Amino acid sequence: MLPTTFEFRWDAGHMIFFGVFYAVVIAIFTSLVYVAVKSIIDVYRDMTARNEANASEHPEHPHEATNEAVIAKS
Amino acid sequence: MTSEHTTPKLERCSRQKFLVWLSVWGLLLAWGLYGAFLCLFKGLNQTGMNNYFVFGLWITVDLAIIALGAGAFFSGFLFYILKVDHLKDLIGAAVVIGFICYSGAIGMLTIDIGQPLRGYFSFWHANVHSMLTEVIFCITCYLFVLTIEFTPLILENKRLSEFPLFKYIGENLHGIMAVFALVGTFLSFFHQGSLGGMFGVLFARPFAYRTGVAIWPWTFFLFILSAIASGPALTTLVVWTTQKVTGKQLVRRSTLSKLAKLSATLFFVYLILKAADTVYWANVTAPQMGFAFTRFYQGPYGMELLFLELFVFGLLPAVLLLIPKAREHDFSLVIGCLFICMGIVLNRFVMTVQTLSIPVLPFEKFVAYAPTWQEWAVAAAVLGYGVIVYSLSYRYLHLFPREHELNA
Amino acid sequence: MKTESGDQRIARYGMTIDVDKCTGCGTCAVVCHMENNVPFTVDESDKSRNMAWMRIYKVDNGLDYPHVRVVYFPRPCMQCDHHTPCVSVCPASATNYDGLTGIVDQINTRCIGCRYCMAACPYMVRCFNWWDPVWPKDMEKHLNPDVAPRMRGVVEKCTFCSHRYLKAKDKAHNEGRDYLREDEYVPACVEACPVGAMRFGDLNNPEHAVAQLIQSPRAFRLLENLHTEPKVYYLSSYEWVRKLADNFA
Ligand code: SF4
Ligand code: SF4
C-alpha cells in the first residue's frame, strides 16, 4: 500500500492502481475538509451575526434565508 | 427555526406498532448474529463450504446485493451529474438501500474470510493484479462515500438540524454532493466490473473464463451493465413495497414507471450482450479449453438454469417492462422488477457456485453444495438488518421529499 | 543460484512422476504430512474437507475385468509456471512465485483466508484449514521444527518443501559454494518413494535427470489445454493414461 511495504514496486501496475486510489482518497478527504471548514465558518458567522443583532437589540435570525435555500434544494 | 416549514411533520405509525415491527426483524438479525458468532468462534467448518465449494451462499448473496445496491450510484449519477430531475423523489431511498446493501455485503465478507482480523492485509499487502484487490479497495471506499451521502439525510432530521453545526454540515454536504456522486460512480463502475472480472479471469476454470479487452474479461462489462440495470429495479421494488406497507403514496407513480423503463431498457441491452457472450464462450472459448458446452450443465445445475436466467428472469421481464401499459399496472411492474432482480441473483449464483461445481481435472467428480443453517442465518440477518435500517430511516428521516405533498 | 559448472541461471525446479511405476502405496502422501506438519481432521473420510498436500488419485481405464487397468496419479502442487493462477489472484500477496527457483510458495501468516486462490487452481491442490490444527499429544513431539504449522482460516498447499531448499542453500553457502548439487534439494515425497517413481531437479539445467526426462515422448502434464504450464510432469507409456490428463471437447 505504501512504497515502504516490501512488495511495493514502482512498476506501471502499482503506479496506476495506487495513483487512482490515492486520487480518490484525496478527492474524498479534501471535500470533507472543505465541508467541515465551511460549516464551522457558517456557524461562526451566525454566532457573530446573532451577537451583533443582540447588541443592537434586533432579535432577528439572519440565517433564515439560507435555511430556505436548503429546503428548496433537498 | 424554520424546520416546521422545511420538513413538514410526517405521519408515522404508533411507536408500539413500530417496535413490534422492528422486533420481528430484530429476531431474524439475532438469529444471524448467532450464526455469525458460531462461524467466527468455531471457524468456517460451521458452513457447508468445503475445498471444492470455497465460495457458497455468502459470496452469491454478496455479489447479488452489491449488484442490486447499484441503484444508489446509478441514481446518484443520473440525478447529480446528468440532472435527471424526477429521481429527486427517491434519491434518498436509493442511497439508503445502497448503504444497506454495501454494509451488509462487507459485514458478510468479514465473516466469510477465514482470518477476519487480517482483512486489512489486502490493503497493506495489496496485489494490484488481482481483481479481488480492486473489489476490496473499491467497495470499502464506496461504502465510505455512501456513508457520506447518507449523512445529510440523517442531519436533516428535525432534532439534529436544530444544532447549527449539523445543519450546516448537512447543507454543505448537499452542496458538493455531485463530487461524491462522481467519485461513487467511478468506484462503483470499477468494483461492479471487477466482481465480474474476478470470475472472468479464472483461466483455469472453463465455466467462468472469458476473453475480453486488455486486462478486462467480458464479464467485467456484463457485470457493470447488469448491475446498473438491476439496481433501479430493486429501488422500484423497495419503494413500491414501502408504499404498500405504509399505505401512503411516497413518490409519483410516473417516477416508478420511468425507473422501471430505464431498468428494462438496460437489462434488454445486457441480455443481448450476454447472449452474444454465451454463444461465443460456448462455441469458442470453452472448446479451446477442452470443454463441450453441455458438459457444464450437470446434476442439480442443469441447462434449466441457463434457460431461467436468459428467458424467464431475463427476456420476459425486460420485454414486459418495455410495454408502457404493463408498467402502468402495479402487478406487472412489480413482477417485472422482481424477475429482473431474480435474474441477477441467479446469474451471480451460477457464476459463483456452478463455476466451482464443475470438475476441471478429468478424474475429479461433479459436486453439489448445500448451505448449513448458519449460512442461511447470516444471509437472513442481512435482510433483517436491511429492513431495520430502512424502517428507521423511513420513520425518522425525510426519505421521500414528495411524501407530504402527495398525501396532503 | 549457479549451476555446478558455474554459470548463473534462473532455476525452474520441477518434478517427474512415472505413473507406470507408481504402485499407489501412499508413502509420498504420508511423508508429506509428516514433513510439512499437515494437520488431519477428526473425520478423515470426508475428503472434501481434509488436508492433503499430496493427494493420490486412483484412475482406471473404464473397462471390465479382465481388461481393467489402474493407474495412480500422485498429485502435488503443479507449481504452475505461466501466469500462475493462484498467485495472480491472491489479493494479499500471500502466495508468491519465486522468480529465482520457480517455486510457488505460501506465506501463511499473511493469508486472509478468502479462498480465491482455491477457486483459481484447477488442480484442487489447495486446502483450507476449516478447523484449528490439533495433533495427538505424542505426535506433537514429531512435528517438523523447520515448517510452521498453519492456523485455522488460512489456505495451505504443497511448496515443493521449500524449507528444504532454504536449508540446502544455507549449507552450500557455509561450504563456500554458490550452487546446489542435484541431490541436495529434494522434496520429502521424492526422497521417500520406495519405487523411485519420482524425480526432482532443475528443469532448466540439462545435467539434471528431470530436464532429460521431460523431453521423453512418455512425458505429459495435467490439463495442458489450460496453459498453466505445470512444472510437474508425468510419465507413461500408455496412450490411454496420457489421454486421461486432459479434457477434450
Ligand atoms: S497447481 Fe494450483 S496451487 Fe499449484 S501453482 Fe498451480 S494454481 Fe497454484
Ligand atoms: S486464501 Fe490466502 S492465499 Fe488464497 S487468495 Fe486468499 S489470501 Fe491469498
Contacts of B113 in chain C (CB under 8 A): 112-114, 153
- For residue C7, being part of any structural domain is answered with no
* Residue scoring higher pLDDT (A4 or C203): C203
Averaged pLDDT for residues C157-172: 96
Which domain does C31 fall in, by range? 13-243
Predicted confidence at residue B384, as pLDDT, reads 97
Q: How far is residue B343's CA from residue B233's CA, in Å, rounded to a whole number? A: 11
Q: Is the pLDDT of residue C1 over 80?
A: no
Predicted confidence at residue B345, as pLDDT, reads 96
Predicted confidence at residue A65, as pLDDT, reads 45
- For residue C209, being part of any structural domain is answered with yes
Averaged pLDDT for residues B115-144: 94
Q: How far is the CA of C121 from the centre of ligand 1 (A)?
A: 5
- CATH code of the domain covering residue C57: 3.30.70.20
The backbone region for C161, taken as left when phi is positive above 0, alpha when psi lies in -120 to 50, beta otherwise, is: left
Please report the number of interchain residue pairs, chain B to chain C, with beta-carbon separation below 8 angstroms.
159
Predicted confidence at residue C2, as pLDDT, reads 55
- For residue C102, being part of any structural domain is answered with yes
Eight-state DSSP code of residue B44? G
Predicted confidence at residue C42, as pLDDT, reads 86
- CB proximity B5 to A under 8 Å: yes
Q: What is the pLDDT of residues B17-49, one digit of tens each?
A: 999 999 999 999 999 999 999 999 999 999 999
* Residue scoring higher pLDDT (B281 or B4): B281
Q: How many domains does chain C have?
A: 1
Nearest CA to ligand 1 atom 5: C79
Q: Is the pLDDT of residue B325 over 80?
A: yes
Q: How far is the CA of C154 from the centre of ligand 2 (A)?
A: 7
Averaged pLDDT for residues C71-81: 96
Cβ-defined contact of C118 to B122 (cutoff 8 Å): no
Residue type, C79: Q
Predicted confidence at residue B368, as pLDDT, reads 83
In CATH terms, the superfamily for domain B2-8+51-397 is Formate dehydrogenase/DMSO reductase domain (1.20.1630.10)
Q: Any residues with Cβ below 6 Å from ligand 1, and which?
A: C 77-80, 84-86, 104, 121, 123, 125-126, 157, 228
Predicted confidence at residue A61, as pLDDT, reads 52
- For residue C100, being part of any structural domain is answered with yes
Radius of gyration of chain A from Cα atoms? 22
| Grid cell at residue C131 | 478447523
Mutate to test the interface with A, among B120, B125, B157, B171 (most CBs of A within 10 A): B171
Domain boundaries, chain B: 2-8+51-397
The percent of residues in chain A predicted with pLDDT above 90, rounded, is 45
- CB proximity A60 to B under 8 Å: no
Averaged pLDDT for residues B244-268: 94
The answer to whether C37 and C163 have CB atoms below 8 angstroms apart is no
B60 Cβ partners below 8 Å, 6+ apart? Answer: B345, B348, B349, B352, B353
For residue B366, give how far its alpha carbon lies from the nearest alpha carbon of chain A (Å). Answer: 37
Predicted confidence at residue C40, as pLDDT, reads 85
Q: Which of residues 142-201 of B touch A (CB under 8 A)?
A: 144-145, 148, 152, 156, 164-165, 167-176, 179-180, 183, 186-187
- The neighbouring-strand residues paired with B227 are none
- For residue C6, being part of any structural domain is answered with no
Q: What is the pLDDT of residues B344-386, one digit of tens each?
A: 999 999 999 999 999 899 888 888 889 999 999 999 999 999 9
- For residue C28, being part of any structural domain is answered with yes
- For residue C5, being part of any structural domain is answered with no
Cβ-defined contact of C118 to B54 (cutoff 8 Å): yes
- For residue C2, being part of any structural domain is answered with no
Chains linked to B by 3 or more Cβ pairs within 8 Å: A, C
**Proximal ligand: closest to the CA of C102:** 1
Predicted confidence at residue B365, as pLDDT, reads 85
| Grid cell at residue C63 | 473397462
Sign of CA dihedral B267, B272, B273, B276: positive
Q: Is the pLDDT of residue B2 over 60?
A: no
